[in-house]
Structure 1
């Protein structure tokens, strides 16, 4: 990435200017030429300063590699309050994750950010200090001196030593039985239950290499990676938008209802047509639509629910209905509270479903089924953190879930989560469709 080297030199030169010996926030920006050899993920993976955050919007137009933190936030509301204190910086973005419990987050304002929008790319350097911008400029110069050149990402070559599911197949059947009883008694309308798969390898797993492998084959997905340090990361390739806000215009969606995909196009199309007509899947999707609309109505104008679509992914196909509206108040903290977790990842009623998950799932969800993305004053976008994995040295934990409603069959739901997990699992073990 020679263009980045030149841009870093320009930023270093800009840091020789005189900065005020007082608190403040300042953004420096240099435009970058784009080339086919310019992979921000490869560049990010070479850096020895953390955190790292990589993001690619599902249409491919928006891509970011954010490095280092000048401010960190444990909740989205705190990040929003920070942005509101600097109204002149409408394009400033704060990146990261919201946990399944949306009150918990890992969000940060990066020191350095490679950002591409369409065919234009820029390198941003952020200065921030509660005491002296002059002092922070010196720290920023030292930070830039540590930046290393990019190297190509190597393919994954891993040897899996063991694999363990939580819950296992028998426990899953018992869990679905408990959920079905709760639904039959009227306690729940729907609950989304998940499984983890822990894969242990003979050598540490490269989070960036894993992300690159997924990006190559999992199309129509958001790709995200937060590396907390050199040994731990959370990443995913998610098909589902939680919300996107541009000024006061909001777009969200209900992605619920699943069938397998197939390599042969006509066979895949036939499966998709079945999905559009299947009562159980349609019911599951409409429960999510109705819940989203109900939650948004107090802070939104007319809610426009678009006709259903079939979203074809690598291993599965989903039913999706987009929901568009205009917010009465453009408040991202309110959007997070209203939308996360949706009925597509928790269930209905929300609090009862969350309690059931907390009581009976044999693991903590942590970042899984939370959200990944960014917020800014001008626009915000978060995807649901699905088709995701937690990496700790040589162990990868995969997550997959299924929506349980009246009429759900435990064995069919097991096959559904097998198909969902395979989108990432096959990249770590044997290569497959």
Structure 2
């Protein structure tokens, strides 16, 4: 990695091409500049004019927003190896020429990465465009942080790149993105919806409770699918705007690949790394929100004292505590959970803070943490075996890590729940719940129905 504070872009491109010739591998040039404020939804929407690959990310308090257009670097690993993704990112960084005088904010070349829930799951038609693990560095990245706006342009330079043509194309596309003012119209409308085998799913929940009673497993997380159809092609930008507007305390993400988009609003952070400080989240145990303040307070108090939910939550705390101690020091985990309120639901929440040991990166942490008991069950091996044998739904990237990391492996990954896979006029929504010994199949069914609500609303509702 060659970091350059101030240099003419033509000279940087030429230096990169010289290295590409000498080393017989592509080099990457990344240039960051500060810009005037622009609406991130408008930027995302404008990117559809010349790219079918777009990414959106905002953290839970919406203080950081990242929007990526195009692919300067793309890597896919069918085996879903975390270490392969880490190696690929390290190699790309080593071959990069970075011009960025704003490294105190989330700028420069940033890699977005997504992983499957289960690397052994055979990808079928539904998740065909999201097979294995993927890493993408966008050609254009909009960063909004601390009230400041930046755009980072990243491109690949090879031994035979026509530098003048490359620079002209990048300049024109960047100006097209920055000058756009068109906000997506509100046109999404669901006209049909179909629950996939609800009775079979309830029977599977019952089977899980029997396995737990027989002490073959302590907890299993089971998910189900809801299919919807739109009146016309669905606008991803409109969905993002709707999620941002109403889903407080949620990470909003969208990963579009060849016009198919995995999108959601998840409350669950898997891990954040900021200058060797580690932050994770234990989030398990669910109750609805009340219609009045009094009812809401009553439901929250019931959740804080509910044996089933506390047991479910403790599985997550114990597993994450054990995992974090394997890669971090000075671990701080409170003894009791608190409430984490969302629009439709509230959860039991325990924050985790620690200091990262040397030689570990955010990718190593993800590999150790995923899947947590909140998304798989406990113990991991037995619960995952049950899911593989009995769950009919193809999970793909649902319930899996998705997020970003910079050139120093600072970054943040969330767990991709409360989500949907949108393909033109169709979408599949996903929701899950933790099954314990005393779980009632109908009650768990109702919980997942509530969890579908945020995405259904954001997709446009139905007639």
When normalised by structure 2's length, the TM-score is 0.84
1:315 to partner: Cα distance: 0.9
2:139–2:155 Cα contact (<8 Å) kept: yes
Which residue of the other structure, out of 267, 270, 277, is the alignment partner of 1:239?
A: 267
Secondary structure of the equivalent of 1:19?
helix
Distance 2:196 2:365 in 1: 32
Change (3 A) 1:234 1:15: farther
Residue 94 in structure 1 maps to residue 111 in structure 2:
yes
1:378 to partner: Cα distance: 4.5
Which residue of the other structure, out of 340, 348, 355, is the alignment partner of 1:311?
A: 340
1:105 to partner: Cα distance: 1.6
Per the alignment, residue 56 of structure 1 pairs with 58
User: Structure 1: 5+ residue runs without aligned partners?
Assistant: 1-12
Per the alignment, residue 30 of structure 1 pairs with 33
1:237–1:386 Cα contact (<8 Å) kept: yes
Distance 1:293 1:17 in 2: 46
Which residue of the other structure, out of 124, 145, 159, is the alignment partner of 1:117?
A: 145
User: Structure 2: 5+ residue runs without aligned partners?
Assistant: 1-7, 21-26, 121-131
1:119 to partner: Cα distance: 1.1
Q: 4+ runs of 1 displaced by more than 6 Å? A: none
1:430 to partner: Cα distance: 4.1
Secondary structure of the equivalent of 2:373?
coil
Distance 1:18 1:311 in 2: 48
Which residue of the other structure, out of 430, 440, 451, is the alignment partner of 1:399?
A: 430
1:128–1:136 Cα contact (<8 Å) kept: no
Residue 250 in structure 1 maps to residue 253 in structure 2:
no
1:294 to partner: Cα distance: 1.7
Distance 1:157 1:295 in 2: 42
* Mapping of residues 318-329 of structure 1, within 5 Å: 318-329=347-358
When normalised by structure 1's length, the TM-score is 0.89
2:320–2:369 Cα contact (<8 Å) kept: yes
1:80–1:332 Cα contact (<8 Å) kept: no
Distance 1:317 1:372 in 2: 22
Change (3 A) 1:339 1:118: same
Residue 189 in structure 1 maps to residue 218 in structure 2:
yes
Distance 2:110 2:375 in 1: 26
1:243–1:381 Cα contact (<8 Å) kept: yes
2:255–2:262 Cα contact (<8 Å) kept: yes
Distance 1:339 1:159 in 2: 36
Residue 266 in structure 1 maps to residue 294 in structure 2:
yes
Larger displacement relative to structure 2 (379-388 or 209-218): 209-218
Secondary structure of the equivalent of 2:159?
coil
1:137 to partner: Cα distance: 6.5
Residue 290 in structure 1 maps to residue 318 in structure 2:
yes
Distance 1:97 1:137 in 2: 34
Map Cα deviations across residues 261-300 of structure 1 (whole Å, 9 max, x no partner): 1232222122111111111101100101101112232222
Change (3 A) 1:136 1:239: farther
Residue 145 in structure 1 maps to residue 183 in structure 2:
no
Distance 2:184 2:142 in 1: 18
Residue 331 in structure 1 maps to residue 361 in structure 2:
yes
Map Cα deviations across residues 90-125 of structure 1 (whole Å, 9 max, x no partner): 853101422213683222011111111111111111
Distance 1:360 1:179 in 2: 9
